[in-house]
Amino acid sequence: MIDTKVGDLDADLEFLMRAVRKVESIREDLGKVGPVIADQVQEAMLGRRSRLDTKQSEAESEPVRKLFKFERDLAKQIKALTDKLHETKRELRLDPENVRQVVEVALELAGQPGLEEAKLPGLWPDPKRKTCPVFRLPALSGSWESCADGLADPYDQKIRPLVFDHNLSKGNPNVVLVHLNHRLVQMSLRLLRAEVWSPEGQKKKLNRVTARVVPDSALQHLAVVAHARLVVIGGDSQRLHEEIISAGGEIREGRFSRFGSFKEMQAALSVATSEEPSEGVKRKLLDLWPRTADAIHQALDTRTRDRTDGLKKMLAERSDKEAADITTILTELETAIRDQLNDPFYRENFLPGFAPAEQEQFERNVDALRRRLGEIPNEVKKESEAIRARFTAPQARMFPVAVTFLVPKRMSQT
């Protein structure tokens, strides 16, 4: 409701400014403004109206305003989740090339033919790319045969090639994206996981030890890095966190010396090539292992303690966030139910036209909502306590997985 004196220039200008702001507000809510206040503005400018009354139009636009607010909030949530997804991909190094390598190794371990490079206009050949990003899935046997499901084009039934990069599949119906939940990737991960955690003494196809050549500028001495699986469990023995950790150091004159920092170790690992040292060097590394095994294990234990201490703050924040999230969700549900129960709209406009059976069902539904409303406060308390208990006294479990020897180029052939 706006009061202003008509006839005064400043008052008229202020009146118009407020009208424009009303117009913009309603434009955002409804997408049109003419039928809402145009007549009132005209009357005010002619001196026949001293008030700009938009209460009724604003009340009528309230459902639409709520809808637009919901859409804006949803867009913000989607953006936040997308950013979190990209951050997680970076942390876990889930880039297309790594996913492809996992599939290639799994196919080899399973005795299946490997992926074949394919040609596709616009993707490969391409002078801007160094490696082929498009592959054809050969005929697989056994349980792997089902990995070909969905490759046939739904229109002409031609078998489409595979890509591992999401950006290459956008708007391109001629390729199939091999994402993390694709059957080919899932079967590959299951096979590799089974190989890594198979019992001692069981025949393995996947070696736990590898040796890789690094540039001379990366290391002055031989280095060894151990990798382990770190699992953090909570008070209810449920898994709270899992990751692969690494610890290692250089071998100087037969003695193990830890890297000065985690960053130094990561820098050495990041430049490791696919080249292997000579067989003679490999035998020397095997001879070195018994003298360094205990020190490597101690380094892993130290890394486990350090990483667990670092995770405590993150887990505490996660506990607070999950408790706050469930409280918010249930509180919003409580508010929505209460608003519906207090809203006479349905009872006044629909109930009189219902048949007796429908009216009885309506009342039963209302009673059920009232019961649910009464349960929510206790449910908030129970759910919050359960979340707190889950994150209470986290414990770490470490399982060694593999060992990587890093050999400077100048020492790889001796």
pLDDT for res 124: 82
Q: Which helix (H) or strand (E) holds 2?
A: strand 2-3
Domain limits, the chain:
2-92, 96-196, 207-414
Q: Which of 48-52, 109-113, 145-149, 337-341 is the least confident region? A: 48-52
178, 252 contact by CB (below 8 A): no
- Tens digits of per-residue pLDDT, 21-72? 766 665 555 544 455 556 666 666 666 666 655 566 555 566 666 667 777 7
| Burial grade of 231 (CB within 10 A; 0-12, 13-18, 19 or more) | middle
If you average pLDDT over every residue of the chain, what do you get? 83
Collect all residues with Cβ–Cβ distance below 8 Å to 197 and sequence separation of at least 6.
399
Residues 6+ apart with CB under 8 A from 173: 153
List the one residue out of 319, 302, 297 whose CA is nearest residue 394.
319
Residues 65, 73 contacting (CB under 8 angstroms): no
- Can you list the positions of beta strands (E) in 137-272? 162-163, 176-177, 209-214, 222-233, 239-252, 255-258
Q: In the prediction, which pLDDT does 197 show? A: 77
Identify which of 153, 166, 184 has the alpha carbon closest to the alpha carbon of residue 95: 166
* 46 or 408, which is more confident: 408
Structure pTM? Answer: 0.66
Distance CA 129, CA 314 (A): 40
Q: Where are the beta strands (DSSP E) in 215-334?
A: 222-233, 239-252, 255-258
Q: What percent of the chain has pLDDT over 90?
A: 36
**Tens of pLDDT along 266-316?**
999 989 988 899 999 899 898 888 889 999 999 999 999 999 998 989 999
Peptide bond into 277 cis (omega under 30): no
